[in-house]
Amino acid sequence: MKTFSLLLLLVYAPLCLATESIGLPPPVAPLSLLVYKMEVLNYCGLIDDEVSAGFRQRRDHIILSQNLSPEEVQNARMEGWKFGLAEWQNRGLGGFRNWCKTEGKEIAEFFRNIKTANGPPPGQNGQANPDL
């Protein structure tokens, strides 16, 4: 009986852990959400110069307008990465393809429109942290 219980634990414990991350909503803090969106594009291979410029401009705006400390910026980065990874893992083998065609494409256009609408990104003149 102990062997059977141990076997059940070994089989079902990973499934229980996996279901905890299924359905994680994207983060709500603006910088964390922005990092999450960029992480989606990273997994989808949709990052180009225009996307990067739009991301940097929006990132710098959030950091400056919310007066975020380096620690708050780092925490937001980690949260965005964590949610991006969890969502990618939840998509399963090949499931990310539709994610990239839908959400990924929308996010890439979102970043391109930031750059187009607002001109060149700040940060190139030393206004904000370009290392995010």
Q: How does pLDDT run across 69-128, given as a tens digit for each residue?
A: 999 999 999 999 999 888 888 877 677 788 889 999 999 999 999 855 555 544 444 444
121: helix, strand or coil: coil
The pLDDT of residue 3 is 58
The pLDDT of residue 6 is 45
The pLDDT of residue 51 is 95
Q: How does pLDDT run across 44-65, given as a tens digit for each residue?
A: 999 999 999 999 999 999 999 9
Cα–chain center distance at 11:
30
Cα–chain center distance at 89:
13
